[in-house]
Amino acid sequence: MDLKSLLSFGSRSSIAERTDRSPLALLQREIDELFANFERGWTATVGTRLTPRMDVIEHDDKIELTAELPGLEEKDVEVTLVGDVLTLRGEKKIDKEEKDDERRVVERSYGSFSRSIQLPAGVKPEEIQASLAKGVLTVIVPIPPQAKPDARKITVKAAA
């Protein structure tokens, strides 16, 4: 894992900032902050690929996945299960307006996305529920009884 990937772009306490005050390092920081602010809500990857931000919460009887998909409708999103891999796919399309006399700035991100997560074995596709409301996709995956691990408390003893 790259140490740089653990540091946030907007962090004022990064190692590089404290040790290098050269004009080029300061310019790099400003450019990094500009791109971090530009992406709001989406993580840009190579090309026009986007990755929606999502939360995965595991309850006793289900897995609840929520993903931020601002500006998308149900017809723009596809949820599939192949084996035990759940995949979210979709595309955020740009509305093209062609006006000769006006100029505009486009700050929102557009493109296709795909995000996959591994689920416990034995999940039944017909029991998965997905809904989209106010730009938030919620997927509920019931956990089959055989996929729930047995929890046991292990006693910790002092080393000899």
H/E stretch holding 71: none
Q: What are phi and psi of 16, to 5 degrees?
A: -60, -40
Which carries the bigger pLDDT value, residue 29 or residue 57?
Answer: 57
Query: Which among 56, 76, 51 is positioned nearest to 66, based on CA atoms?
Result: 56
The per-residue pLDDT for 12 is 45
- Please state the rounded mean pLDDT for residues 110-125: 86
The per-residue pLDDT for 29 is 79
Contact 98, 153 (CB under 8 A): no
42-145 has CATH 2.40.50.140 classification: no
137-151 pLDDT, tens digit per residue, is 999 999 888 766 667
15/31 Cα distance (integer angstroms): 17
- Of the segments 26-35, 56-65, 151-160, which one has the largest average pLDDT value? 56-65
Q: Does the model's pTM come out above 0.75?
A: no
23/11 Cα distance (integer angstroms): 18
pLDDT of 92 over the 90 cut: no
H/E stretch holding 18: helix 15-19
The per-residue pLDDT for 46 is 42
Contact 71, 130 (CB under 8 A): no
The per-residue pLDDT for 40 is 52
CB atoms within 10 A of CB 77: 19
> Given pLDDT bands bounded at 50, 70 and 90, which one contains residue 50?
low
DSSP labels, 32-57? HHHHHHHTTTEEE-STT-EEE-EEEE
- Please state the rounded mean pLDDT for residues 106-117: 78
